[in-house]
Chains A and B, each alone.
Chain A
Amino acid sequence: MSTRSKDEIAAAIARDIAATHPDGAYVNLGIGQPTLVADHLPPGSGVVLHTENGMLNMGPAAHGDDIDPDLINAGKVPVTELSGASYFHHADSFAMMRGGHLDVCVLGAFQVSAAGDLANWHTGAPGAIPAVGGAMDLAIGAKRVWVMMTLFDKQGAPKIVPECTYPLTGLGCIDRVYTDQGTFEVGAAGVRALELCGISAGELAARLAPLTPSVA
């Protein structure tokens, strides 16, 4: 049993977005790994990508002559414009996010708590320069906020935890966590594995203890 690659996780998220929103969804993909999801959206999914620096219907990354320094995404990567795009200023863009108009937002995370709290902006380490960007707005604003991360950190410690030990980004804001070792729901009912990949239910329970994940 092998774990899922980042591409496989991104494909799973893309599939679930398309399944949940058959008529198309408005989606924000956080900077870093979540941007991979765009590459896996099925043709005709009708998904419209939002970038918080003021654009809807963002296209793929720009290359060569298509690069325009005035057209970048939230990660400051040059991107392209799809047909039906629109531009708006930052207050309007964040009003859109904070007002609950995005269907799905996918974020990276350091930790997610069983109750759905998110920690993804700051390690709290001494000397670290804090930088939050739009993470707190996205965390509380989208209709569904999903996380894409590895289930364990480099030291092997679980990133789904009883309580976040890193500084919080938002309280009770996460619906679902896509990881290399499976997909999980978190929230009031605790942790529930929707599917496992590369880990047995027994090992999962042992490594996430004292959490007691249920397995669908």
Chain B
Amino acid sequence: MAEKPWESEGLTKEEYDMIIDILGREPNKTELGMYGVMWSEHCSYKNSKPVLKRFPTEGKHVLQGPGENAGIIDIGDNQAISFKIESHNHPSAIEPYQGAATGVGGIIRDIFTMGARPIASLNSLRFGELDDEHVRYLFAGVVEGIAGYGNCIGIPTVAGEVYFSNAYKGNPLVNAMCVGIMDHEDISTGRAAGVGNPVMVVGAATGRDGIQGASFASDELTEESEEDRPAVQVGDPFMEKLLLEASLELIKTGALVGIQDMGAAGLTSSASEMASRGGTGIELDIDLVPKREEGMTPYEVMLSESQERMLVVPKKGKEKLVKEIFSKWGLHAAVIGKVTGDGMIRVLNKGEVVAEVPARSLADDAPVYQRESRRPDYLDEVQNYDLSRLIEPTDYNQSLLEVLGSPNIASKEWVYQQYDHMVLVNTVVLPGSDAAVLRIKGTKKGLAMTTDGNGRYCYLDPERGGAIAVAEAARNIVCSGAKPLAITDGLNFGNPMDPEIFWQFEKSVDGISQACRALNTPVTGGNVSFYNESPEGAIYPTPVIGMVGLLEDINLATTHHFKDEEDIIILLGETKEELGGSEYLKVVHNLEVGRIPELDLGLEKKVQETCLEAIKAGIVKSAHDCSDGGLAVNLAESCISSGLGARIKIETDLPPAALLFSESQSRIVITVTKDNLAKVEELAKKHAIPFTKLGEVMGDRLIINNLIDLEVEEMKRRWQESIPSRMEE
């Protein structure tokens, strides 16, 4: 073996010594490869585990918290939903179409593995700025890849976000989320129980795809990444559609003991995790694994990340049933081994044992590190930047048009028009409003879902930024008429060995935890993606929150579009002078500095409760969360999507820029008919939250005090053409 055999597997000398301790001998090449992938950050969470323990993970709805392939939440009537978010950042940087496509495929498998039928996908994307040709290539490729996979498999992509900043130029973020629904009795787990039960591989044949993909994800992107990358995985959504149907059919038969998809680290992770959860071992034979290529070594077979495969453990005697179901769908199912009682993963090849290691040591006993953490120096400088010296614009119409034309604020239609967002005929609120809403067929109920995150906020203040991401997600859910249930989190950060990055990570987790406790939305799972760095440096710390909410009555689903002339426009919550970190500051002053808006979680909760109570009372005609871009953008969006204007008159001492563009939290704009104005005022009093009547829906212009007077059509053009015009350059 090489002089420092651990290096090529991405392990340290100390970790190598631990392995020798565990085995009582030197590992061979295959064994070392297995430890290498399982002890990578991507699979083992060795640098993040202690911090993730801070999340609140319990709640009365939580049927399955973190630890399985995806979390599960009870929604009543014997139904449950499963959802999770996953990153595919590095693969997408190398090959945007396939990287994003296989990311979608992976998260969908996580959901149907749990026994749930996937009903919706979401995606959270970050790129550099669109004036760069390579960025445009990445953006176009990623969106096409998500579309290519999701549309083909027939799961609607109903919501998401896209954000552009130079911080992501060398390292885009591609986080995909999937939501599925199931009856309680179909909940499945990835457990290999029952000594003697067969272990089977179903789905695609194994090739040399993506070997060491997990370790690749656990390293920084460098100039050479393009060279030493593993073979790119290509997704086959058609195969996965068949796999999905066959797996769900199989789960329904009750013949299964356990099922797990093969994602990162392929057969090694699925076998060791299933055995470890079941307190068992697995013996498998390389010869029996269906292979796509000739001459594959045990190392390659164990580490392959070929897509669209699952590992299943049926009850003994049910092998034939499994094969029948899969062959009906034109898929292979092969017995490759059996469950054992000795806790070992034992790999045979041509009758010889080529690897034999304790399952637990792979899946659960990776070393855990408490990394050093230090508040970054840049924070004081950016937070203390003196915003009072900024010159107020002379033409606020111009400023509003500029902000509306910023790709971060502008219409994302260019993106979601490429996604089939209607298949499965459940989509009640289409992309373009605050959260997507889906009906649950056969019930009166509905689900709302959204992803939110603000990397710039987290860069300027990771703790509050993390909390705001949760608060904003919940506000989006509430504005659609749903009660927030729980979250999944996608934590995207730089290199955790850098104490300043690790501090950002810890603080973000703290902020998310605080908000989740206050808003009663436990964390049911998520994903950590470190090493998001390029030669230009680390990305903005970017936690992304995926949230799901429940509507008791689908008829109360609410959108942000204004509905009728003369409706009264009301602000719940209060606008303060809080331009720090705002889109206005970036677009108009080219600054990404300042103190980000305050977040009073008590007030946040009360504002959300007021809004939801008003919606439940049936008096809210539109509701729109007020955040990125501020009040002016909020009002403009409701105008644009309805074609209706608004006349706004606000008494205030705020400087005009702050009135229009401040991103103060805990604000929701709603509209009601004149007759219901008093009712809302009463509700606001009851909850003791600030309440302001802003004006009314009227005409075809947006008029705000003597600051803004713009035709809705003109605003719409700027907002709608921003991304397409940049992409068609």
A-B interaction: no
A residues sitting closer than 8 Å to B (CB atoms) are: none
B residues sitting closer than 8 Å to A (CB atoms) are: none
